Amino acid sequence: MNEHLLEMFARDAVAQLPIQQQHLYHYIVQLEDQLAQQSDTAEQFLELLKKDSPYLQAAEHFGLSQKAIVECMKEIEEEIDSHIKMKSKSFRLLDCTDLLQKSAEQTGKQKAFLLATSKLPKNQIQ
């Protein structure tokens, strides 16, 4: 499935979480992104994760144990994954580039896609 579509499904999943889980998720992801930006290699990133643990920082920030943070993030990630899988089964991304270029007599690098629910019969999408 298209990477951008998966990102959209993930953002939607996070938006549907309870507000406390959203805050925790965004807090940890932001810290991990900062560490990733400081890293030149995967090994360096892993070292920074150990040294500047986002989970430990989140535990201190939210006043919870590190174990509680890990468990909560695990639940959040499972919920996001479940949401993405459900959405992926419900939608299809159809490449309509050729159809659009033929009808408009355009050529080029521009692509056109249709996001459709999988409930539509295949013969109705042309």
- Residue showing tokens 């007599």: 105
73-88 residue pLDDT tens: 999 999 999 999 998 8
**What letter represents residue 96's amino acid?**
C
| Lowest-confidence segment of 14-18, 53-57, 91-95 by average pLDDT | 91-95
Q: Is 107 helix (H, G, I), strand (E, B) or coil?
A: coil
102-126 residue pLDDT tens: 555 555 566 665 555 655 444 444 3
- Mean pLDDT, the chain, whole residue set: 84
The pLDDT of residue 126 = 38
Average pLDDT for 28-40: 97
Angle at 105 between CA 100 and CA 111, to 5 degrees: 35
- DSSP letters, 12-54, are HHHHTS-HHHHHHHHHHHHHHHHHHHH-SSHHHHHHHHHHT-H
